[in-house]
A and B are shown apart, each in its own frame.
Chain A
């Protein structure tokens, strides 16, 4: 079945450093969503990418969808302690299901 690989599993950064997480699929995706989960919290929607090569920005966050629509990335510029949490990608499959990646947990040291 549909699977998405998300790397890295963990990332430790010093505050002010950049951070990137990647999501890869073996099949072409119709779209991809990104969610953030703070420690002890629930996933919160960040953004959805639909078009091939699409790039969207939210302040210090940059989201990209690959040209072949098989991969995506989330880049955070100059991390802050408020960026701590786990970032998940999610893809929609046939049959109304959504599959989540395993997530990348971001640790930020002040």
Chain B
């Protein structure tokens, strides 16, 4: 099992550009999460999903969108990138609520 994979590893965007961060898990987990981590800070929940077709907002959803068409994939869409979105983005999944979260390696995003 590859676990949770994320692409790309690193990306530079210009202000106003858009992009999709990819997240895939091969553990058949129902719950998936997107977090952002600013330098020296903790993790902030952006969006989460409890199953295919079901998504909901976390703490900091503004400027982002998600979809969950399959159990495996949970892409995060950035529209109109802003410097404030410069961060490291982590995707995570868990089999059941309140259990261990498995994190992907992260995507480092720089918006200039």
Contact = CB atoms under 8 A, between A and B. Distances in A.
B103 A42 contact: yes
Interface residues of B, number: 26
B104 A42 contact: yes
Given A43-B90, A101-B42, A102-B42, A92 B103 contact: no
Interface string A8-52: 000000000000000000000011010100000111110010000
Contacts of B105: 41-42
Contact of B43 (A1, A95, A96, A100): A100
B29 to A, nearest CB: 13
Contact of A96 (B50, B100, B102): B50
Contacts, number: 54
Contacts of A48: 99-100
Contacts of B44: 100
Interface in B26-52: 31, 33, 35, 40-45, 48, 50
Contact of B31 (A31, A33, A96): A96
A48 B40 CA distance: 24
Contacts of B103: 42-44
Interface string A77-92: 0000000000010101
A30 B98 contact: yes
Contact of A97 (B42, B58, B92): B58
Nearest to B58: A97
A105 B42 CA distance: 10
Interface in B57-73: 58-59
Given A95-B56, A96-B97, A97-B58, A45 B42 contact: no
A97 B45 contact: yes
Interface of B: 31, 33, 35, 40-45, 48, 50, 56, 58-59, 90, 92, 97-106
